[in-house]
Amino acid sequence: MSLFTRFFCCLLLFSTVIFSRTIYADDTLNIPILCYHNFNPTVPGSMNLTPAKFETQLKWILDNGYTVIPLKEAVDYLQGKRASLPAKSVVITADDGWQSVYTYMYPIIKKYHVPVTLFIYPQTISEGKHAMTWQELKELQQTGLFDLQGHTEWHPNFKQERKKMSPANYEKFVTMQLAHSKTVLEDKLGTKITLLAWPFGIYDKYLEQQAAKAGYTMAFSIDARPANKNYRPMAQPRFMIIDALSMKTFAGIINGAKTKSPIVNEKASQN
C-alpha cells in the first residue's frame, strides 16, 4: 500500500468516525414534552397547578438556557423531516381544553411568548361547565402561540370500552373517536389536525394502527420519558406535570433529558 493510499484510508476512516458520531448524537436527541391539564390559584390538586407554579417552572426553563419549541417542530425532527433542533429543547402541551387554560395559562404564555399545543376533545368545548368555548379557542389560535390538536371525541377509556363491546362495535367506536373528532375539529378551527394525545395515556398496537389510519402522523402518551426518534410515532412519551412535583424533580426531568437515555425500540404498551 502506497503512502498516499494509506493516508487516504486514514482520512476516510477518521471522517467516517467523526461523521457517524455527529449523526449518532443528533439521532438520539431527547425532547422533554411536558403535559399540563388544569390551573387553579387557590385549590391546587393533582391535575390543578397554581398559575404561580407554572410561571416558576416556565421561568426556570428559560433561565436555564432551554428553548420552548412548537410541538410541530419536534414532530418534524422526530419524523426525520428536520435535521436538527436546539440541543436544549422543551415542548409544552396542555390537555382537555379546561377554561383555566384560557384564564390562567394564556396570560403567562403571552408574557413569555412561548408556543403551546393544546389537545382538545370537541364534545366538551362550549358545553362542559369548566371547558373553553370555540370562540376562546379561536382567540388562542389567533395569537399564533397556541396550536390546537386532537384528544378524541369525548375522552373515553379505551381499555374499558374494549371490554364492553364486540370487536366490530369497538372498531366503529374507535373510528368515531379518532376520525370523526378530527373532522369536527378541522371544521370548527379551520386547521389541519395531525397530532393526537391518548386519553388517560392509554394506547396499544391496535389503537396506534387506527390512529395512523385516521390520518394522524404522531400520537402522544404520558409515559414519563423524553420523546426520541427511537419510539414508535404513535407512542411518543410526555411527562405529566402535577402540582406535587417539586422544583428539584421538575429540573431533573428537564435536565435529565439532555443526557442520552437507553433507547427502547419496542416498549411494553399493551394496556
Nearer to Zn ion, 30 or 38 (CB): 38
Residue 152: CB minimum distance to Zn ion, A: 9
96 binds Zn ion (CB under 5 A): yes
**DSSP H/E element including 25:** helix 3-27
95 binds Zn ion (CB under 5 A): yes
Instruction: Give the interface segment with Zn ion, choosing from 8-16, 44-52, 96-104, 220-228 (CB under 5 A).
Output: 96-104
Q: Which residue has the cell 494509506?
A: 6
Give the amino acid at 1: M
208 binds Zn ion (CB under 5 A): no
Hey, CA dihedral for 95, 149, 61, 102, is it positive or negative? negative
Hey, CA dihedral for 121, 74, 269, 238, is it positive or negative? negative
Instruction: Give the interface segment with Zn ion, choosing from 26-34, 69-77, 93-101, 237-245 (CB under 5 A).
Output: 93-101
Nearer to Zn ion, 30 or 201 (CB): 201
Nearer to Zn ion, 54 or 119 (CB): 119
Residue 172: CB minimum distance to Zn ion, A: 22
Nearer to Zn ion, 96 or 147 (CB): 96
Residue number closest to Zn ion, CB atom: 95
Neighbours of 46 (CB within 10 A): 11
Q: Which residue has the cell 373517536?
A: 177
Residue 155: CB minimum distance to Zn ion, A: 5
d(CA 200, CA 217): 19
Binding mask 48-87 for Zn ion (x = CB under 5 A): ----------------------------------------
- Structural contact between residues 63 and 7, judged by C-beta atoms closer than 8 angstroms: no
Nearer to Zn ion, 61 or 120 (CB): 120
Residue 89: CB minimum distance to Zn ion, A: 24
Instruction: Give the interface segment with Zn ion, choosing from 12-20, 92-100, 181-189, 209-217 (CB under 5 A).
Output: 92-100
Nearer to Zn ion, 118 or 140 (CB): 118
Q: What letters, b where the CB count within 10 A reaches 16 and e where it falls short, cover 74-92?
A: bbbbbeeeeeebeebbbbb
Q: Taking the mean position of all CA atoms in its chain, how far away is CA 258?
A: 17
Q: What letters, b where the CB count within 10 A reaches 16 and e where it falls short, cover 99-108?
A: bbbbebbbeb
How many residues of this chain bind Zn ion (CB under 5 A)? 2
Q: Binding residues for Zn ion, per CB under 5 A? A: 95-96
